[in-house]
Amino acid sequence: MAGIRERTYIMVKPDGVQRGLVGEIIARFEKRGFKLIAAKLVSPPKGQLEQHYADLSSKPFFPGLIKYMLSGPVFAMVWEGLDAVKTGRVMLGATNPLQSAAGTIRGDYALAVGRNICHGSDTVENAEKEISLWFPEGIVQYSLLQETMIFE
């Protein structure tokens, strides 16, 4: 089936790590049927965060965003599965948690746009760029034995 190998970069931000939500966020992606192909707790250098958020560098909130992202370690992950990028964004919820639907990660656990717990790639192209940026060492290859129970 087309699209089942799509990959997305999902990151628990410093507030999510501090609030003990790493396991909860992993569990949601696991239970949905996505395959975990990379994960690590990291304190990235400032330059890596500036590169990750380069598209937002002219925004007034950019310095605050970088400061927030540097306030503690992040939990970086790559998940693979059908329509992973778009579905990952739906699972995260709207950028501003006040507009995130209940049942989404942000809609269940966050209130403020500047403390919205998690990141998810917005396009397949950006996902591939983010995966290279955060996992230059490469990712694990394995087959998920329950795959025939998740995809036709």
Report the catalytic residues: 119
* Smallest distance from Mg ion to CB 84, Å: 15
Q: Which does 65 bind (CB under 5 to 8 A by kind): ligand IDP, Mg ion, none?
A: ligand IDP
Retrieve residue 53's tokens: 């958020």
Q: Tell me the helix, strand and coil percentages in the chain, rounded to 5.
A: 45, 15, 40
Q: Is 124 in the site for ligand IDP (CB under 6 A)?
A: no
Residue selected from 7, 35, 52, 119 as contacting ligand IDP according to rule CB under 6 A:
119
CA 71 to chain centre: 17
Q: Is 116 in the site for ligand IDP (CB under 6 A)?
A: yes
* Smallest distance from ligand IDP to CB 9, Å: 11
CA 25 to chain centre: 9
Q: Is 63 in the site for ligand IDP (CB under 6 A)?
A: no
Query: What are phi and psi for residue 43, nearest 5 degrees?
Result: -110, 90
Point out the residue whose Cβ comes nearest to Mg ion: 122
Distances (CA, A) of 64 to 24, 35, 85: 26, 33, 26
* Smallest distance from ligand IDP to CB 125, Å: 14
CB 68 within 8 A of CB 44: no
Of the pair 23, 114, the CB lying nearest ligand IDP is at 114
Residue ranges in 93-122 that form contacts with Mg ion under rule CB under 5 A = 122
67 vs 59: CA distance, rounded Å: 14
Which residues in this chain contact ligand IDP in the complex, by CB under 6 A? 56, 61, 65, 95, 113-114, 116, 119, 122
